[in-house]
Amino acid sequence: MRKRMFYAFGWTCIFLGLPLLGVAALLHRFGFTEGSYTLAHNYIAVLAKLLLWVAGAKVTVEGRENFPAQLPVVFVSSHQGHFDSAVILAHFRVPLTFVASSNAAKFPIVSRWFAYGSAIYMERDNLRQNYQALKEAEQVLASGKSVVIYPEGIISGGPTMGEFKRGSFRLATDMDATIVPLAIDGSWQIMGENGDTIQPAHIVLRVLPPISTKGLSRAEKQAIPAQVYDLIAHNLKDIQSRRSSAGAA
């Protein structure tokens, strides 16, 4: 029942948003790209919050004191489920965009919103396309928008975290940008391990201390992927351990 209601609500919102999509298209066509981006970003953020609510997701944000005062930054996040981006959009009220799989560009209508929202697409094993995506991400970052990256490259679909792709950190190290690690736990539970349901879940979004890449030596930059991985993995383990303790109490 919840699954049918979720998809019916989602597609209703998307179709009701078509007039706004038309406005975004006109703004973009006539060179008002910032206006187009702002409209798209705000629409997607509101939609994300509504979809989390309909899905029955409860989100707890921890580590707000670590949220950077100076932007833009590169957010580096764990990636358990399809709702990770919705969680970030619904709770980070700053200009940002995502580096996403090229599969996300195949969704009708939604992909247009993503395009006006400055989404950047990468395709696995396509070095030329990924190099172009890196350059696009550099331009987005230089324009003042933060960028969200999922260095696992794929959704884990469970509580565990996969290996990080070292190339995911080039944007931050090449641009001397600050990295803000994010540990997101519980998002996979909304769709379940098989991805065939919609059910309530408690999601924890923990913002971890920023890591500056400015002035680092080459060796120090090369050590960053492992440093960030260990930091996120430790915090995921801490969140999950706390869940287990609470459940046993």
Residue with tokens 């960028």: 147
Q: What is the pLDDT of residues 76-127, one digit of tens each?
A: 999 999 999 999 999 999 999 999 888 777 788 889 999 999 999 987 777 7
207 close to 78: Cβ distance less than 8 angstroms: no
Q: What is the pTM of this model?
A: 0.94
Name which residue leads in pLDDT, 248 or 52: 52
Q: What is the pLDDT of residues 166-214, one digit of tens each?
A: 889 999 999 999 999 999 999 999 998 888 899 999 999 999 999 999 9
pLDDT of residue 249: 52
Q: What is the pLDDT of residues 154-169, one digit of tens each?
A: 899 999 999 999 889 9
Alpha-carbon torsion angle 57, 63, 69, 70, nearest 10: -80
pLDDT of residue 160: 93
Q: Which domains are present in the chain?
A: 2-248 (3.40.1130)
Q: What is the pLDDT of residues 34-89, one digit of tens each?
A: 999 999 999 999 999 999 999 999 999 999 999 999 999 999 999 999 999 999 99
Structure tokens at 21: 């999509």
Task: Please give the share of the chain, as a percent, with pLDDT higher than 90.
Answer: 82
Name which residue leads in pLDDT, 1 or 237: 237
What is the pLDDT confidence band of residue 248, given thresholds at 50, 70 and 90? Answer: low
Residue 242 has pLDDT above 70, yes or no: yes
For residue 60, the SS3 value is strand
For residue 177, the SS3 value is coil
Secondary-structure percent of the chain, ordered helix, strand, coil, rounded to 5: 55, 15, 30
